[in-house]
Copies of this chain bind each other. A is one copy, B any other.
Amino acid sequence: MDVAVIGLGQMGAGMAKSLLRAGHHVTVYNRTAARAKVLEGFGAVVGSNLADACKAGVVLTMVADDPALESVVASPGGILESLPKGGVHISSSTISVALSDRLAAEHARQGQIYISAPVFGRPEAAENARLAVVAAGPSAALERCRAIFESLGPKLLILGEKASQANVVKLAGNFLISCVIESLSESFALARKAGVDASVLLEFLTTTLFNAPVYKTYGGLIVKGDHDNAGFPAMLGFKDNRLVLQAAEGAAVPMPMASTIRDRLLTAIARGNAAKDWSVLGRIAAEDAGLTTG
């Protein structure tokens, strides 16, 4: 089907490739044009501007944060103005629950449909159709877009009519990952000071009770103390933490572990690790325990 992909960072570009490979007719648009150009070689049509891209009738956005999404949606010539009546905006960015609610209302006022469809997975998963997709919004539109979701990965969770519920699930998932990182960080600091080899501990944990990729991946990064190759920078982790705390505030839900993560990430950032991978929490736990770190 016809679909435009707006926002061609690592994730957006990967998703566009997966859509193209699945046979969709994909228009791409990015503020920095060079990133769009690259995708021509994979069969994409490059839209000349947002309005041009919106002609596809279905627009998937994958941008950095709330302000970036507000800009492509609400600026002159943006999606709100340009998408035809009955058109669908699929928002896959990790954004706030509040913005998602607002966009749902604004699109409805324009006779357009807003779907929230954040994804779980890293850039490689995006490019190889291995993402997990969580989608929510009006059910007819969800059905209409099902082929798009299924082209992005094998795992699809369809929630109800309220689009922002998909954002809640995305934020909860990222919160759970952050708890894995911090709990491993504290465990390894304890093990190291007790003289236990952290890599031996990790191997044991991940072949018994914690046999899940998230423990292996982040445990490995913490044990190695290798945080320079930022798959997900601490600064973005902090952004997501802020979003989950905002969602918790909106719903009046105390989340003490999220608060702890906040303080730890803020310490990491204050000590100069904003651009490091968020597994750098392992270094913070080590430093707070008086351990020397690489």
Q: What is the CA–CA distance of A118 and B191 in the complex, to the nearest angstrom?
A: 16
* Interface status of A53 (Cβ within 8 A of chain B): no
- How many copies, total? 4
Residue in B closest to A287 when the chains form the complex, CB atoms: B271
* Interface status of A160 (Cβ within 8 A of chain B): yes
Q: What is the CA–CA distance of A207 and B133 in the complex, to the nearest angstrom?
A: 12
1/0 per residue, CB under 8 A from B, across A204-246: the answer is 1101111111110000000000000000000000000010100
Residue in B closest to A259 when the chains form the complex, CB atoms: B259
Q: What is the CA–CA distance of A215 and B151 in the complex, to the nearest angstrom?
A: 28
Point out the residue from B186, B242, B256, B271 that lies within 8 Å of A175, measured CB to CB. B186
Point out the residue from B213, B214, B263 that lies within 8 Å of A254, measured CB to CB. B263
B253 & A193 in contact (Cβ 8 Å cutoff): yes
Binds B, one of A21-29, A103-111, A166-174: A166-174
* Interface status of A140 (Cβ within 8 A of chain B): no
1/0 per residue, CB under 8 A from B, across A154-184: the answer is 0101011010110011011101110110111
1/0 per residue, CB under 8 A from B, across A254-265: the answer is 111111101110
